[in-house]
Structures are given as structure tokens and as C-alpha cells.
Structure 1
Amino acid sequence: MENYEEPVYLISVVAKVLSIHPQTLRQYEREGLVEPSRTGGKMRLYSQKDLDRIKMILRLTRDLGVNLAGVDVILRLKEQIDEYEALVEELKSNLEQANKENTKRSLVKRKDSFDLIFLNDKK
């Protein structure tokens, strides 16, 4: 199986597969919504990850009527949420490991079927 982030599709292929004009893809790039890789000759190459992102953009614009500025905000928020979810999972793992190493006192208090972890993120 090929790498999800490996750039392999030319703009013409992406446009045909998604039934959109290549100019639309160029506009998405100008707006900063997608960043295809470039060959030495400056040809755009899209990965499967790029295609999935473009499909999401199309759903937001066509199906939900969101303009490109709104799409940008939504995609940035989604990326931020994904980063926070990954951080929460990492912190949970670290706490569980610390609990295993120090069984005398528990660092994560469990109640019912969920855990509450508070993070003070100062950037």
C-alpha cells in the first residue's frame, strides 16, 4: 500500500477524479487550503491526504454552502482539535505509565466510564 502522504497524482488526474476544473484546485492552493508538492519542473503532485482534504472542501462548499474563508477557519479548527486530541492521548499514556511505575498513589482518578485530564496550555 502506498503512503497516505506520498505525492503521486497530477492536477489533471485529481480534477478528473473529483469532477472539478483544474483552476479550482489552483484557487484552493492560492487560498492556502491545500499545499500540493511540486516536482523539479514545478508540476503539482497531490497525495491521497490532499485528495481527502479537497473532498472535505468540496463537501463544505457544495453541500453546506460555506465560503472559502469559512472553509479555512473550519479546517484550521479541525487541525487544532486533532492536535489537542493527540496531545490528550499522549498525556493519558504518560499518566498511565506513571501510575504503573508508582502504584502506591494514583495519578489518574477514574470515575464512571471517562477520565478528566486538565491541561494548562500556554503558547
Structure 2
Amino acid sequence: MFQTILFAIDITREARSAAEVVADLVKIHNSKLVILSVVETSAEGVMSSTEQVAKLLTSAKSFLSDRGINAETIEKEGMPPFVICDVADEINADLIVMGCRGLGLVEDSASDSVTIRVINLAPCPVLVVP
């Protein structure tokens, strides 16, 4: 059912928790896994370092490798919701998986949430792991 899964990660605890769910999904569906992390930019410039993102991707790939899962990693720069959706479209992802703190999903600040923006823009289903 899910031939290609895009796992969008950041440095949050929720992203680490979502890794277990991703591992199970990949095994169940025998999916190709692509791990994406975005170096966020804004008008002021880079908001997180490329070194931090590279370390995060290496750690995630190692975590999944220990579970017998081979994954491709992608590092991009830009606004996370748009980059995540663009990459999902480029790789023909069947599912996007991402962690979420659960903050702002029903409040006025929901429009600022990366998760909500991805849900609204995604070219495929989005699984949000709290």
C-alpha cells in the first residue's frame, strides 16, 4: 500500500518517537524509506545549522539501520512545510510521517504549525505521530 514513505524529522522528542512507527510501517509494507530534514531559513537567515541537520540524519539512519531498514536521506534548505511537500511530490511518496507536539492544532496559532501546513499542502496522506 505504501511503496514510498517520507519521514520528515527535526530535533524534537516527537520525531524520535515517530521513528518507531516509521520502522513498523516500512517493515509491514516493505516500503522504500526517505528521511528528510530541513535547514530552516527565514528573513534573518539560517535558523538551524547544516551540521546539526547532518548529525540528525546520520542518527536517524543509524537507528533505522539497527532495525534492518535501509533508508535514503535528504537534506534541504527552506521553509519546512513547503520543502516537505515538494520532496513528497518529487519522490512520489505514498505517505508522509512526522511527529507533532500537539500544540496549536486546534488553537488560533494552528496556521503557524508546520504539521497543519503539511496536512493542508501534502500531495499524499500524512500520518502525524504525537
Q: So what's the TM-score if we normalise by structure 1?
A: 0.22
Higher strand share: 2
Q: Which has the higher contact order (CA 8 A, sep 6+)?
A: 2
Q: So what's the TM-score if we normalise by structure 2?
A: 0.21
Higher helix share: 1
Based on CA coordinates, which of the two structures has the bigger radius of gyration? 1
